[in-house]
Amino acid sequence: MQSLRVSLRKEVDASYDIVVDSGLLGRTAGELARGRFGKRLVLVCDETTRALFGETLLADLRAADVQADLLSVPAGEQSKCLAVFERLCGDLRDLRISRKDCLVAVGGGMVGDLTGFVAGCYMRGLPFVQVPTTLLSQVDSSVGGKVAVNLPGAKNYIGLFHQPKKVLVDVDTLASLPPRELDSGLAEVLKYAVIADAEFFSYLEDKRDALRSLEREAVIRTVATCCAIKASIVERDEREAGPRMVLNYGHTLGHAVEDAMHYALTHGECVAYGMRAAARLANAMNLFPAADYHRHEQLLDRYGLAVAPLDLDPDELLRIASGDKKNSGGRITFILPTSLGQTTRRDDVPQDLVRSVLADTLRRA
């Protein structure tokens, strides 16, 4: 027998900058040109962000003598699938895009996830830049390198870790959002306060009106704080081996609600139901002190999140949640709060308790 070893021990610096500002989109062409991320740039938008931002950015890039093209996909979560992924890869082939080129995701979470997955797979990897235009994507999905598409009944099951080269966040793009989409992003904002920053939680208790009216200083501080929290977690656990799982607070049951509702609710709306249920589980298990639990409930109420009853079967949600890719040993893994700013990971939550809490939460959040 012969045995050989392939030695590939090496470190790759995948660090990148996140820039958060007002009016940044007008400077994005210059940022992309100076960054030299690729010989050619391909903007990827959905139909909505193409009209709002993509065409203007394309014109700015060409005016700056940057070789650039633009591709778009239908708006909505249904585009985050293998069929659209394949189509985009074919479009890149037709444009003769090579590894020396770069993709630029201009849009919300669906666009960023889909573009990042294409970038990670096409020709075994292209660089890409995130230009998130929704609150949810600005505070969460654009940072950390988790990119994926969905399978039927299985959210984000086909994916990889592929970090962007830069994240350019213009908070002014949030003015284009309908109130419901803004609220969806605010659910993720509240998540960061619960899992990592009690002082930020207090700030959010006082700043609902400022955030909903898109007061510049409050929005920039909020987006930057969320990005800083996520960056610090990703730096410790890029591949979700342990500490990064805290970011799934509210997502285990939230994804189940999202699936059961066939994406009729936004991602953030579903996560809010998941957070409310997780906090109730933690309180019922004597993990989450009553005072903190009531502040958690009141903050969701104040932001109008997870307040409407849902006509869903708790057993169906349990069935969906049992297939979550972060589970182990056949048991559902929950991130549960132990105080504002602190959590624990538990896989020993009694199913009867989960079923009871879900029934109460769905009946009257």
Predicted pLDDT of residue 40 = 97
Residue-level pLDDT at 12? 84
Which of 312, 12, 282, 324 has its CA nearest to residue 154?
324
What pLDDT, on a 0 to 100 scale, did the predictor assign at position 315?
Answer: 96
Tens of pLDDT along 239-255?
988 999 999 999 999 99
| φ and ψ of 107, to 5 deg | 160, -160
Residue that has been written with the tokens 């203007």 in this structure: 56
The residues, ordered by sequence, that sit 6+ positions from 248 with a Cβ below 8 Å of its Cβ are: 326, 335
For residue 364, what pLDDT is reported?
A: 72
Phi, psi (rounded to 5 degrees) for 325: -70, -10
* Contact by Cβ (8 Å): 252, 335: yes
Phi, psi of 215 (to 5 degrees): -65, 125
Domains contained in the chain, CATH given: 17-176 (3.40.50.1970), 179-363 (1.20.1090.10)
Closest CA to 250 of 270, 274, 282, 221: 274
Residue type, 309: P
Q: Which residues of the chain have pLDDT under 50?
A: none
Gap between the Cα atoms of 110 and 133, Å rounded: 11
- pTM (predicted TM-score): 0.94
d(CA 115, CA 55): 17
Both structure tokens of 229? 């929290």
Burial of 31 (0-12, 13-18, 19+ CB in 10 A): middle
Q: C-alpha angle 103/108/111, rounded to 5°? A: 40
